[in-house]
């Protein structure tokens, strides 16, 4: 039986402090809909237990609660979380993955603390220096692209970019069903002469690996064109690209809502176009792309937005479930070993 951990702790929720019912609502939905998974909920038992009373006896039997006294705040540094918050829900959830009591952990907490605790407790796979945050993005033609790193490592080396490419390729194979997924490096131009030394060194390295379907450079606007299946960059650039695209999606949705209600004629036209607008919104809705995987670890850790809605957090849980079913860390380990052997 596969076990799954959902960490419930202090997070930002629409600009304020944690609102556990949001996370619990998503977790209970997953319990009801996925009977092949057991769940361990880490957090304040006095908050969790009343919500569990809403479950049937059969569903309730698949949930274990681990009470935690400490809370990792968004303002806590990674070192504070590691040294002084040893009974936090985040740490207990990650420890469950470390000790094989759980196959995956989902958290909406402090990203730096999550990265630090996962790196310290679960460790990285052999051949991987640092884990990377990766998430799906929508593209043309109803496809998806993997973008990494999204902020786990603001500064990185060309070797790290190479490792991201290998891991992203494996994830695209497993999660997207792609045979020889197209891997690209994000750059300021497609020409070989463009880019900084870091990108050029990674480009030269990737060209020497036949096990990867490396297609060269792409620019920022190519992320959404279905030109590549995996787009690799450093954590600083990746995080800016992700947040910018999310902000643009929200701007477009809000502008459509505002314009469609500005007058009677607009409201009438909006009603006629409603099915089309809903279809477009469902394609670009950031909620369904919530859930960034911290790949390169010996276990599965998925990071949800701190201000995620219940629907968005549920999508993060589904992401972790799918990775657990597909045994993604083992697949990455196998690919890394193959690629490293080719270079000997």
Residue tagged 């083992």 (tokens): 330
The whole-number pLDDT of residue 199 equals 92
Please tell me the CATH superfamily of domain 1-128+296-344, with its number.
Isopropylmalate Dehydrogenase (3.40.718.10)
Mean pLDDT of 306-311: 80
The whole-number pLDDT of residue 181 equals 94
pLDDT surpasses 50 at 16: no
| DSSP bridge pairs for 130 | none
The whole-number pLDDT of residue 262 equals 74
| DSSP bridge pairs for 65 | 41
The whole-number pLDDT of residue 15 equals 29
* Residue pLDDT, tens place only, 111-155: 889 999 999 999 999 889 889 999 888 887 778 899 998 888 888
- Residue 42 CA to residue 62 CA, distance in Å, equals 14
- Residue 321 CA to residue 318 CA, distance in Å, equals 5
Using DSSP bridges, classify how beta strands 230-232 and 182-186 pair: parallel, antiparallel or unpaired. parallel
* Residue pLDDT, tens place only, 94-103: 999 999 999 9
Q: What mean pLDDT, rounded, does the chain reach?
A: 84
* Residue pLDDT, tens place only, 218-271: 998 898 888 899 999 999 999 898 888 878 777 877 777 777 777 777 777 767
- Residue 282 CA to residue 302 CA, distance in Å, equals 22
Mean pLDDT of 66-83: 89
Degrees to nearest 5, angle at CA 161 with 160 and 167: 90
pTM, two decimals, is: 0.83
- Residue 238 CA to residue 232 CA, distance in Å, equals 8
Residue tagged 């759980």 (tokens): 102
- 18-22, 99-103, 182-186, 269-273: which has the minimum mean pLDDT? 18-22
């Amino acid at each position: 039986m596969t076990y799954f951990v959902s960490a419930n702790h202090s997070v930002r929720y629409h600009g304020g402090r944690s609102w556990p019912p949001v996370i619990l609502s998503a977790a209970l939905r997953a319990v009801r809909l996925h009977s092949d998974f057991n769940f361990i909920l880490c957090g304040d038992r006095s908050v969790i237990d009343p919500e569990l009373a809403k479950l049937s006896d059969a569903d309730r039997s698949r949930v274990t609660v681990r009470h935690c006294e400490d809370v990792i705040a968004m303002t806590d540094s990674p070192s504070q979380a590691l040294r002084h918050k040893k009974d936090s829900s985040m740490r207990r959830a990650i420890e469950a993955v470390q000790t094989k009591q759980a196959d995956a952990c989902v958290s909406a907490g402090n990203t730096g603390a999550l990265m630090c605790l996962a790196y310290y407790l679960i460790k990285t796979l052999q051949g991987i220096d640092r884990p990377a945050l990766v998430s799906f993005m929508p593209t043309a033609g109803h496809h998806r692209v993997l973008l990494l790193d999204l902020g786990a490592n603001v500064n990185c080396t060309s070797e790290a970019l190479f490792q991201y490419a290998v891991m992203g390729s494996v994830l695209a194979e497993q999660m997207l069903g792609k045979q020889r997924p197209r891997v690209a490096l994000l750059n300021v131009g497609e020409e070989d002469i463009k880019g900084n030394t870091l990108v050029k060194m990674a480009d030269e390295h990737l060209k020497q690996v036949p096990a990867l379907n490396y297609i060269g450079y792409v620019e920022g606007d190519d992320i959404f064109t279905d030109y590549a299946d995996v787009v690799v960059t450093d954590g600083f650039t990746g995080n800016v690209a992700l947040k910018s695209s999310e902000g643009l999606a929200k701007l477009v949705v809000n502008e459509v809502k505002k314009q469609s209600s500005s007058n009677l004629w607009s409201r009438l036209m909006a009603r006629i176009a409603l099915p089309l607008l809903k279809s477009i919104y469902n394609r670009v809705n950031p909620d369904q792309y919530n859930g960034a995987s911290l790949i390169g670890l010996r276990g599965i850790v998925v990071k949800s937005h701190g201000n995620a809605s219940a629907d968005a957090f549920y999508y993060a849980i589904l992401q972790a479930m799918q990775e657990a079913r597909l045994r993604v860390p083992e697949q990455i380990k196998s690919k890394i070993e193959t690629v490293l052997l080719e270079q000997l």
